[in-house]
Structure 1
């Protein structure tokens, strides 16, 4: 999740559910833990909750997450393809939630 969020800058729960092919409760539970640890920040927009890296993360932590995202690019290829198949965000919102 962190790698996809880093690559995309910001993702909502339904986008992550689709990309990772996992259940919404499982995705939400993991996002809540990442947010509680201070790694992610969320924002609400209507019925959607979007997650991004916390802006107050130290530079070294951001660098580690960025390096990990680049290293996992091949491993996350199918997840990224499912995400891209949702279309641009306005189209994604039509298929979400």
Structure 2
């Protein structure tokens, strides 16, 4: 029960929900998330650490950057919650705006911007 409570805490912040919605598109560098969310690196890193500790995302260091991806859920409750989030988060206005900012950023990103 404690582990489930910790996982649910990860979903209790709008910024973290926005991050999960963006990661639905695949692995993203911390700099990609910063641009899409218009947030400083420290805030993005703090929220991603919270999601990682809750088992929602995985991370991988490549050079000086950290890349995040959605974790494969292992328990049935997390599987169901992630499926529900995947269904409904894209419909929210903020998520649409975040994805558009990310799309524009990735179009113009220089090759050396992230690792």
Q: What TM-score range do you get, normalising by the shorter chain?
A: 0.7 to 0.9
Hey, what's the Cα distance between the residues in 1 that align with 2:85 and 2:110?
26
In structure 2, how many angstroms separate the alpha carbons of the residues matched to 1:92 and 1:36? 31
Secondary structure in 2 matching 1:83: helix
Which of residues 10, 26, 35 is equivalent to 1:9? 26
Runs of 4+ with deviation above 6 angstroms: none
Please name the residue that 2:48 is paired with.
31
Q: What's the RMSD between the two structures over aligned residues? A: 2.3
- Is 1:22 aligned to residue 62 of structure 2? no
Structure label with greater radius of gyration: 2
* Shift in CA distance, 48/59, structure 1 to aligned 2, threshold 3 Å: farther
Structure 2 residues not aligned, in runs of 5+: 1-18
Name the count of aligned residue pairs. Answer: 94
1:30-83 alpha-carbon deviations (Å, 9 max, x no partner): 001111222211001111111112235335423422331331213211100010
Q: Which has the higher contact order (CA 8 A, sep 6+)?
A: 1
- Report the Cα distance in structure 1 between the residues aligned to 2:113 and 2:74, rounded to whole angstroms: 32
Among 42, 45, 54, the residue aligned to 2:62? 45
Q: Which runs of 5+ in 1 are unaligned?
A: none
Contact between 1:19 and 1:80, CA under 8 Å: does it hold in 2? yes
